[in-house]
Amino acid sequence: MKQEILKKTQEYSSFTSECLSGMVKIPSMSGEEKEVLEKVSELLDKAGIKNHWTDGLGNVIAKIGNGKKILAVDAHIDTVDTGDVSQWELDPFSGTIKDGYVHGRGTVDQEGGAASMITAARILQEMNYDGDWTIYFTFTIMEEDADGMAWLYLIEKEGIKPDYCVITEPTNLNIYRGHRGRMEMEVYFKGLSAHASAPERGKNTIYNAARFAVQLEELNEKLKTDELLGKGTLAPTVFSSDAPSLCAIPDKANIHIDRRLTWGETKESAVKEISDLLGEDATVEVPLYDKPSYKGTVFKQEKYFPTWKIEENHPLIQSGVTNFKSLFEKDPVVDKWTFSTNAVAVCGRYEIPCLGFGPGNEVMAHAPNEKTPIEHLDKAAAFYALLPFTLEQQ
């Protein structure tokens, strides 16, 4: 079976890379994924996948098999924008295939995983897979804006609650078993306006906010650390103020905080750390994400995305290791992501074990000249196709 899968992934190598190229040619920022998902559906049809549909939020779902247990294999298909196009050697949306790579925005983060999933689904369909697992290949939306929101919708509204989940974000073909969580916080400062010619009559919020920002730098150095996931961090990313005019003392200020949460840190503990630094004229809030999907569906989510990890001896991780060794005849690296993924919902909120394995090197994510090796695409497709059979041997 392994040899058959390896043979098919090589046979379909051009198909896989063309799938990725086709997706990359369609810009697909969060909330603007309609056209690229139409392309995904077209590619699933071309691959002979008979059972696929679009849910109420806008995710595309393909189903293989009818086993009693559920395995989900997930890729988000939205991307970030290009940044400064002058830093790109090729058009970010060219989807150029050359020198053993597919080039362009989204090849690594993370339409490469989606392309490998389409080929894996094709292989399992052609093999008439009828084992212990029902396999959902999910092509999800809006991850770059709100990690895991699509999966909260799949679980809570569509009733798809897997036993295990594979996250196909880039891992450089390593196996990942966790990452830090993240959250956003808004800190609001209230002052008293006065004419700038007599600043002593007012209460300047810039001073209070600036002193608070210095305290944030000090707090960042004191945050917890974890042997696997590393240290928690915080960073103020926006500082703004508002005044009646340019010659008036500002009576409002705002600082936006990006908080990365290591193991043992929670929304409550992070908010308390900030609250303890604030005086009576300042408040902290966790904002709400309520942007409509491309279908117009609003599915609100607090901007808190929990930390997750599973142990290296967990059956899912061990099956992944066995799967890797069987296919590639060497030991995999077992590690963690630096950034956040949809697993914040699947494992972080719902405690469904997740395994990370994807094509491309994560250092290319969100960077100019993004590209993914075709070899990675093929190996990832083989890994996803063989995994249900390996899991059956648990």
CATH number of the domain that residue 336 is part of: 3.40.630.10
Active site residue 109: no
Domain shared by 322 and 187, yes or no: no
Given the residues 55, 74, 143, 144, the one annotated as active site: 143
Per-residue pLDDT for 107 more than 90? yes
Residue in 33, 55, 74, 78 annotated catalytic: 78
Q: Which two tokens stand for residue 360?
A: 């491309």
Q: Which of 17, 62, 13, 18 is nearest to 37 (CA)?
A: 62
Note whether residue 277 is domain-resident: yes
Q: How does strand 164-167 pair with strand 69-76? A: parallel
Domain co-membership, 162 together with 24: yes
Judge if 204 and 323 occupy the same domain: no
Does any domain span residue 296? no
Which residues are 60's β-sheet partners? 54, 139
122 pLDDT more than 90: yes
Tell me which residue of 216, 185, 117, 162 sits closest to 391, measured CA to CA.
162
At residue 394, does pLDDT exceed 90? no
- Within a domain: 299: no
Domain presence at residue 217: yes
35 carries an active-site annotation: no
The whole-number average pLDDT for the span 304-319 is 98
Helices (H) and strands (E) in the chain, counts: 10, 22
Given a contact cutoff of 8 angstroms between Cβ atoms, the answer to whether 144 and 204 are in contact is no
Contact present, 281 and 179 (Cβ < 8 Å): no
Domain that includes residue 281, residue range: 181-289
Q: Do 168 and 193 belong to one domain?
A: no
Share of the chain above pLDDT 90, in %: 99
Tell me how far apart the alpha carbons of residues 388 and 132 are, in angstroms, rounded to a whole number.
Answer: 8
Residue with tokens 């990942």: 176
How far from 235 is each of 76, 129, 179, 243, 281, CA to CA, in Å? 26, 48, 18, 25, 22
Q: What was the pLDDT predicted at 25?
A: 98
What band does 44 get if pLDDT is binned at 50, 70 and 90?
Answer: very high
Confidence of residue 225 (pLDDT cuts 50, 70, 90): very high
Average pLDDT score over residue span 228-256: 97
- Nearest CA to 28 among 66, 75, 74? 75
Q: Could you tell me the pTM of the whole model?
A: 0.95
Of the candidates 346, 320, 299, the one whose C-alpha atom is nearest the C-alpha of residue 163 is: 346
